[in-house]
Amino acid sequence: MSRVSVENLNVWFGDGADRVDAVKNATFEVPSGASFGLVGESGSGKSTILRAIMGLVTTWSGRMTVGAFELGKKRPKDFYKDVQMVFQDPYASLHPRHSVDQVLGETLSLHGFRDIDQRIMKLLDDVGLGPAFRFRYPHQLSGGQRQRVAIARALAPEPSVILLDEPTSALDVSVQAEVLNLLADLREEHKLTYIMVSHNLAVVAHMCDATAVMQNGEIVEVMSVADMRAMKPTHPYTQHLLDSSFGYRPNAAQSA
């Protein structure tokens, strides 16, 4: 059964000469327990799709369902208990004057949990941060540690669907490996469904079963990771992305 489905989604901003059609007619389905990738051009609407699912943009049309819920203009109260998002920018998404303890504690009490103390300790442990980090502020954490706090906050309400926007692009490769292993373990343990935006095709191949490829607001192709590993795309833009993903080649810049 599909856990998340998006059908003919359109999202736009502004009007007149400044109107942007950020997402055009996007359609995809994510089965329960699967991980689905969103890759593609910078500015092609990947973050906007996640924000639309979360109810953070108001100007959209089409059909979105999460489980049995059909999403309208407003999200029902318990929606954010079921669906959480980790934002693209780990610097901007944590309040500079809130300690880790405050961030997690507030999220937990917002969702009506009682045993907050115990849960904070468990969450920190889940994301591989010890109790020593509990009373630190964002500026006292490295980029990787901050990203783990953002992931812990998303896990706090015990959601079954997590939307991840470039969860590792600010991290060095060793911390990236730790975070990806953690996400895989959590998915296994809690039967989570992920939608994951990344510009790193190797990361998507490692984490996902299938991925949508976006260009200029449109999904140009949905491909399985098996086809991606076999370098068998159907759309020329995907081919171009795959060709560019093995490092810098000066000639590739001219041929684009």
Partner 1 sequence: MRETLLDIENLRVTFPTRQGDFQAVRGVSFTLGRERLGIVGESGSGKSMTGRAILRLIRPPGRIEADRLAFHGQDLLAKSEREMQKIRGQKISMVMQDPKFSLNPVMRIGEQIMEIYRFHTGAGRSAARAKAVEMLEAVQIRDPERVMRAWPHEMSGGMGQRIMIAMMLVTEPEILIADEPTSALDVSVQTQVLSIIDRLVRERGMGLIFISHDLNLVASFCDRVLIMYAGRIVEVCEAGKLHEATHPYTRGLLGSLPRIDAPQPRLEVLRRDPAWAEAPSVSGRR
- The label of the residue with tokens 């939307």 reads 163
Could you give the CA distance from residue 188 to residue 183 in angstroms, rounded to a whole number? 9
Site string for partner 1, 132-151 (x = CB under 8 A): ----------xxx-------
- The number of angstroms, rounded, from the C-alpha of 151 to the middle of its chain's C-alpha atoms is 10
Interaction of residue 54 with ligand ATP, rule CB under 6 A: no
Site string for ligand ATP, 141-160 (x = CB under 6 A): -xx-----------------
Count other Cβ atoms within 10 Å, centred on residue 140.
Answer: 12
Count other Cβ atoms within 10 Å, centred on residue 146.
Answer: 21
Residue among 47, 93, 107, 193 that touches partner 1 (CB under 8 A): 47
Residue among 35, 48, 147, 168 that touches ligand ATP (CB under 6 A): 48
Count other Cβ atoms within 10 Å, centred on residue 75.
Answer: 17
Could you give the CA distance from residue 8 to residue 222 in angstroms, rounded to a whole number? 14
Q: Nearest distance from residue 161's CB to Mg ion, in Å? A: 19
Interaction of residue 47 with ligand ATP, rule CB under 6 A: yes
User: Which phi-psi region, left, alpha or beta, contains residue 211 (left: φ > 0; alpha: ψ -120 to 50)?
Assistant: beta
Interaction of residue 99 with partner 1, rule CB under 8 A: no
Q: Nearest distance from residue 167's CB to ligand ATP, in Å? A: 13
Site residues for ligand ATP per CB under 6 A: 13-14, 20, 22, 42-48, 88, 142-143, 172
